[in-house]
Amino acid sequence: MEATVAITEAQQKKVKPDPETLKFGKTFTDHMFTMDYTSDLGWIQPEIKPYAPVEIDPAAMVFHYSQSVFEGLKAYKNPNGEAVLFRPEENFKRLNRSNKRLSIPPINEELALDYLKQLIELEKDWIPSAEGTSLYIRPFVIATEPSLQVAPAHNYKFFIILSPVGSYYPEGIHPVSIMVEDHFTRAARGGTGTAKTGGNYSAGYNAQAKAASEGHAQVLWLDGVEKKYVEEVGSMNVFFKINGEIVTPQLNDSILQGVTRKSVIELLKHWNIPVSERKIPMQEIFDAYESGELEEAFGSGTAAVISPIGELTWKDSTMIVNGRKTGEVTKSLYQTLTQIQTGKQEDPFGWTVKI
Amino acid sequence: MEATVAITEAQQKKVKPDPETLKFGKTFTDHMFTMDYTSDLGWIQPEIKPYAPVEIDPAAMVFHYSQSVFEGLKAYKNPNGEAVLFRPEENFKRLNRSNKRLSIPPINEELALDYLKQLIELEKDWIPSAEGTSLYIRPFVIATEPSLQVAPAHNYKFFIILSPVGSYYPEGIHPVSIMVEDHFTRAARGGTGTAKTGGNYSAGYNAQAKAASEGHAQVLWLDGVEKKYVEEVGSMNVFFKINGEIVTPQLNDSILQGVTRKSVIELLKHWNIPVSERKIPMQEIFDAYESGELEEAFGSGTAAVISPIGELTWKDSTMIVNGRKTGEVTKSLYQTLTQIQTGKQEDPFGWTVKI
Ligand SMILES: Cc1ncc(COP(=O)(O)O)c(C=O)c1O
Ligand SMILES: Cc1ncc(COP(=O)(O)O)c(C=O)c1O
C-alpha cells in the first residue's frame, strides 16, 4: 500500500551537475518532501513539491532553542539502473530515538519510508552512477512554532531533501591523519550525543578548526566525563584492529549508533573475524601502538562508508598506523559494503531495499 | 554618531495586546532589525523593516547543525515615559563570546547597540508600563548558507525581534519548587555551556518535563562531569544564603555568565553583604539545610530578575527553604534591581541606558 502524498511537479528541471566536480551537500534535486505537525492534528499534509526556500517566522523555535533532528542515508544505482537504499528503516528508527531525546513527536516510520520511496522514484534520474557517487538523503525535523518560551514546540516541519554527491575518494581510498581532542567535548553522559541533533555538530567546529590548523583531517572525541575513553572520530564511529581483534567503543548515551557501525560488526561476525564492543581507554591504543599490536584503524559512516586512519596524534605523540597504508580488514570492509550498497555484490543480509 | 540603517515602516500597525493577558514570547512588535553576513563582504545591509516571516533555504545550516546564538535583555519604561535598557553592552559582549564558541563571525558591539536603540526608538509605544511588564529584546544569529557540510557557514543573518512581556509574578513574587537533576546533563566541561546557543536549551526539555511531572517548576543542573557541583537553575544562575553568606557557583566553561548574576554580586558587595563565588557541592547545600544554616535560595535571570526558591528536591530528600517564604536578601535584591531597571530608583552603578 502506498501512502498518499500530494505531488506537485517542478515546471522547470535543473541541469544535473557533473559528478566529477560535485561537492558534498551543495547541490539539491528538483523536489523535496514536506509534512507538518500541529499538536491538535498530528502529522498532516504530506507533500512532494519543487525544492524551494520556505517561509519561516523569525521567532520559530528552531532558531532559538535548536529543537531539531536529522538523518543521513544514501540511494545508489545498481548495475540494472535501479535505485537502491541501504537499511533505510534503521535511519527512521534512529530519527524517532532522536525525536524522543529532543521532545519532538514521533513520525510513523513505515509511512516515512514510503514517502521517501515516492520522492526517490520521482528523482531517480538524479542518482549518479559513476564509481563512488550516490544520492545523499537528508530527512530532518525543525520546530516551527513562533515562541520564545524555553519548552517543546507545538508545531514542526519534517523535510526530506536530496543531494547528489561525488566520490569521497576521487583519487582512491587513502588514510587520514586524526587528532585526539582533549579539551573540547562533543557530548557527555546525560547529554544529547546519541541523538542526531544539530547542537552536537556545531559544538565541534572549534575543535575541528584546531585540528585542521595542525594538519589533521578530523578529531577523535574522548568521553566528556573522564576524557579517557575513545568515543568517535569526527562524524564517524571508530574501529581499531589490535592483535588480530577488531574493537570499537561500546554504545553509551554519548555515542551515535551508526548504521555503518552496526553493518561493520555484522559483517565481521559473518566473516568470523573476532570483534568486540567495549570501553576503550585511549591509553590502551597508545600501548598497543608501542608494542606493535595496533594493526589497523578506521572510521565508519554514511558519507565515507569506511575511512582508514593513517596517523593518530595524542598529546605529544604521533602513532603511525600500518605504515600509513589502508589495512586488509579495512579494505575488505570498504569493498564489501560499497559493493552491497551499489548492488554489485549479492546482499546476504537483506540490507538493501530496491525502489 | 548614529549607525546608518535603512528603515522601512510597517504600513499597518498591529493592535497592542493587553499587558494583563500577555504570555512570554508569543507576541511580536511591528518591526524587526536584520543584517546579513557574507564571508566576502562581512556584515552588510542593516535594515529595520516590518516584522514578517523570512525565506530560508531548507538546506540552511542552522536547520542541520544548529549553528546559532542568541541574547535576551529588556527595555523598560521609566516614570518619565522614557525607554531604558539594562546593561545592554554586556549582552552584546556575551553575544560575541557565544559567536566565538560557535565559530560565527563577531559583530561590532557598538554598532549593534546603536541598531537596537534605533529599533526601540521606533517601537517605544510597545514598551508596556504596568508593574512588572517590559519589552523583551531577542537578538540572534543563524547560519543561512545552504550546505550540508559539517563546517562553519559562510553566510549568516542577525536579527533583533521584540516581544512585550507581562509580569513574571502577576500575583506577587512567590518561591518555587526545584528538582535537582542527576541523570540528564545541560552542559559539560569543554562543551557549549557558557555560550547562549540553542543546543543547550532543547537538550534540557526531557529533564524539564520530568521535573514538571513531579510537580516542580524548574530543574537544578549539576556539573556534567561529576554530577556533584551546583551549576544553574533552569535558565537562571543560582545563589544560596548559608549562615549569613551568599554563595554562587564560580564561573567555569559550562555555566552561563548571567548579566543579572553579575549585577547581584555587585549589589551585594555595595551593600557589604559577604558574597563568594566558588564550587558548591550539592552535599554542602544539603548539610547546610540539615544544620539549619540554609537561609535563602534564589535564581537570577533577565526573565524573572530574581526567582526565590522555596523547596529543593534532591534524590529522596526535600529541603524547605525559609519556610517556603521569600527571604530578606532575595526580596531586597528583587526590589532594588527592578527599581533601578525601571528608573524608579537612582542608578549609582551606571547600569541603565536611556534611549
Ligand atoms: C556523530 C556521528 N557519528 C557516527 C555517524 C555514523 O553513522 P552512520 O553510519 O549511520 O552514518 C554519524 C553519521 O553519519 C554521526 O553524525
Ligand atoms: C542558561 C542560562 N543561565 C543563566 C541565565 C541568566 O542570564 P541573564 O542574567 O543574563 O539573563 C540565562 C539567560 O537568561 C540562561 O539562559
pLDDT at B319 over 70: yes
| A204 pocket-lining for ligand 1 (C-beta < 6 Å) | no
Distance B103 CA to ligand 2 centre (A): 21
CB pairs under 8 A between A and B: 207
Tell me the whole-structure pTM to 2 decimals: 0.97
ipTM of this predicted complex?
Answer: 0.97
| Confidence tier at A225 by pLDDT (50, 70, 90) | very high
CA pair distance A246, A239, nearest whole angstrom: 7
Of A60-64, A164-168, A298-302, minimum mean pLDDT range: A164-168
Sign, CA dihedral B320-B326-B332-B333, equals positive
Closest CA to A313 of A304, A301, A321: A321
Measure CB to CB from residue B189 to each of A56, A151, A185 and give the nearest one.
A185
Measuring CA to CA, how many Å separate A163 from each of A29, A32, B153, B234?
6, 10, 18, 39
Helix or strand (DSSP H, E) at B91: helix B88-101
Could you say which DSSP state residue B344 is in?
Answer: S
Closest alpha carbon within chain A to B146: A26
Q: Do B202 and A102 touch (CB under 8 A)?
A: yes
Residue A39 CB coordination number (10 Å): 12
Q: To which residue does cell 542518482 refer? A: A127
C-alpha cell belonging to residue B175:
518561591
A206 interaction partners in chain B (CB closer than 8 Å): 101, 103
| A193 Cα nearest atom in ligand 1 | 1
CA pair distance B14, B16, nearest whole angstrom: 6
| Confidence tier at A85 by pLDDT (50, 70, 90) | very high
Nearest CA to ligand 2 atom 15: B235
| Confidence tier at A62 by pLDDT (50, 70, 90) | very high
pLDDT digits (tens, 9 = 90+) for A28-56: 999 999 999 999 999 999 999 999 999 99
User: What residues does ligand 2 touch, defined as CB less than 6 Å away?
Assistant: B 72, 196, 232, 235-237, 256, 258-261, 300-302
A189 interaction partners in chain B (CB closer than 8 Å): 185, 224
A115 close to A35: Cβ distance less than 8 angstroms: yes
> What values do phi and psi take at B68, rounded to 5?
-160, 155
The stretch A147-173 carries a mean pLDDT of 91
| A232 Cα nearest atom in ligand 1 | 3
- CATH 3.30.470.10 placement within chain A: 6-165
Encode B296-320: b = buried (16+ Cβ within 10 Å), e = exposed: bbbbbbbbbbbbbbbbbbbeeeebe
- CATH 3.20.10.10 placement within chain A: 176-341
Pairing of strands A237-242, A294-301: antiparallel
pLDDT at B332 over 60: yes
Residue with the bigger pLDDT between A170 and B39: it is B39
Closest CA to A193 of A206, A183, A203: A203
Which of A256, A260, A307, A333 gets mutated to test ligand 1 (max ligand atoms within 8 A of its CB)? A256
CA pair distance B128, B18, nearest whole angstrom: 9
DSSP secondary structure of A279-294: --BHHHHHHHHHTT-E
Closest CA to B101 of B217, B19, B179, B192: B192
In B112-154, beta strands by DSSP E: 134-143
pLDDT at B5: 95
Within its chain, how far is the Cα of A351 from the centroid?
Answer: 16
CA pair distance A164, A76, nearest whole angstrom: 10
Could you say which DSSP state residue A13 is in?
Answer: P
Residue with the bigger pLDDT between A351 and A170: it is A351
Q: Which CATH architecture has domain A176-341?
A: Alpha-Beta Barrel (3.20)
CA dihedral A122, A123, A128, A133 (to 10 degrees): -110
Q: Does domain A6-165 have CATH number 3.30.470.10?
A: yes
Residue B25 zone, left/alpha/beta (φ > 0; ψ -120 to 50; rest): left
The stretch A151-162 carries a mean pLDDT of 98
pLDDT at A171 over 80: no
A149 close to A64: Cβ distance less than 8 angstroms: no
Measuring CA to CA, how many Å separate A117 from each of A162, A251, B254?
12, 30, 43
Closest CA to A113 of A335, A355, A277, A300: A355
Measuring CA to CA, how many Å separate A159 from each of A131, A138, B182?
28, 8, 35
Closest CA to A198 of A213, A207, A216, A186: A186
pLDDT at B2 over 70: no
- When the pLDDT of each residue in chain B is averaged and rounded to a whole number, the result is 96
pLDDT digits (tens, 9 = 90+) for B239-256: 999 999 999 999 999 999
pLDDT at A91: 98
pLDDT digits (tens, 9 = 90+) for B151-194: 999 999 999 999 999 877 777 788 999 999 999 999 999 999 99
The stretch A150-161 carries a mean pLDDT of 98
pLDDT > 70 in chain A, percent: 99
Measuring CA to CA, how many Å separate A5 from each of A8, A73, A115, A136, B294?
10, 21, 7, 21, 61
Measure CB to CB from residue A188 to each of B32, B191, B198 and give the nearest one.
B191
Q: Do A202 and B56 touch (CB under 8 A)?
A: no
Closest CA to A203 of A190, A191, A216: A191
CA pair distance A95, A80, nearest whole angstrom: 31
CA distance B223 to chain A (A): 10
Measuring CA to CA, how many Å separate A3 from each of A6, A87, A93, A111?
10, 20, 18, 6
Q: To which residue does cell 519556610 refer? A: B323
